[in-house]
C-alpha cells in the first residue's frame, strides 16, 4: 500500500455543469473557466507528488477547509453550499491521469467540509493505493 497526501491552497471550486453553445446547427459543450482553472491548479499540485499514476484501485480522502463567513457561528462542519458531491467531482476529475490512470479505479472515498483556521481555505487530498481486497477491508465499515 502506498499513500500520497498533499494540499491545494485556495478556495475549492465545485464542478459545474458543462455550458452548451449553439452555433448554426452545431452544439459545443465547454467547462466554465473557473472550474477549468481550479482543476489545472489541483492537477499541477498533484503532479509534484506522483511519479506515475496508479493503475490499480485507490481510496481517496478529501477534506475541504472552507472560509468562515462572518455572519455564522463558528461551527466545525460547513452545512452550506457548495454541495460536497460537486466539490468532490472537480478534484476527482483533476486527479485523473495524474494520481490514477482512470477515475473508475476509485473504489472508495471519504470527504467532508470543515471551516478553515487562520491559514485560510484549502483542500487536503489523500490517495491510497489498494493492491488487493484484503487491504481494502480496513476502509470499509
Question: What does each of the 141 residues of the chain score in pLDDT, given as a tens digit?
Answer: 699 999 999 999 999 876 677 778 888 777 889 999 999 999 999 999 999 999 999 999 999 999 887 766 666 777 778 999 999 999 999 999 999 999 999 999 999 999 998 889 999 999 999 975 555 556 554
Strand partners, 22: 27
pTM: 0.85
Are the C-beta atoms of residues 109 and 62 closer than 8 Å to each other?
yes
Are the C-beta atoms of residues 98 and 50 closer than 8 Å to each other?
yes
Amino acid at each position: 500500500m502506498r499513500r500520497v497526501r498533499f494540499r491545494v491552497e485556495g478556495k475549492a471550486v465545485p464542478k459545474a455543469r458543462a455550458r452548451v453553445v449553439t452555433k448554426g446547427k452545431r452544439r459545443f459543450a465547454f467547462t466554465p473557466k473557473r472550474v477549468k482553472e481550479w482543476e489545472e491548479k489541483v492537477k499541477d499540485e498533484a503532479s509534484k507528488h506522483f511519479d506515475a499514476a496508479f493503475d490499480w484501485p485507490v481510496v481517496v480522502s478529501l477534506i475541504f477547509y472552507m472560509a468562515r463567513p462572518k455572519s455564522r457561528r463558528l461551527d466545525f462542519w460547513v452545512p452550506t453550499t457548495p454541495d460536497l458531491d460537486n466539490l468532490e467531482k472537480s478534484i476527482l476529475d483533476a486527479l485523473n491521469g495524474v494520481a490514477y490512470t482512470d477515475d473508475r479505479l476509485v473504489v472508495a472515498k471519504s470527504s467532508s467540509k470543515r471551516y478553515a483556521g487562520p491559514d485560510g481555505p484549502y483542500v487536503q487530498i489523500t490517495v491510497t493505493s489498494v493492491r488487493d481486497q484484503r487491504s481494502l477491508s480496513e476502509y470499509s465499515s
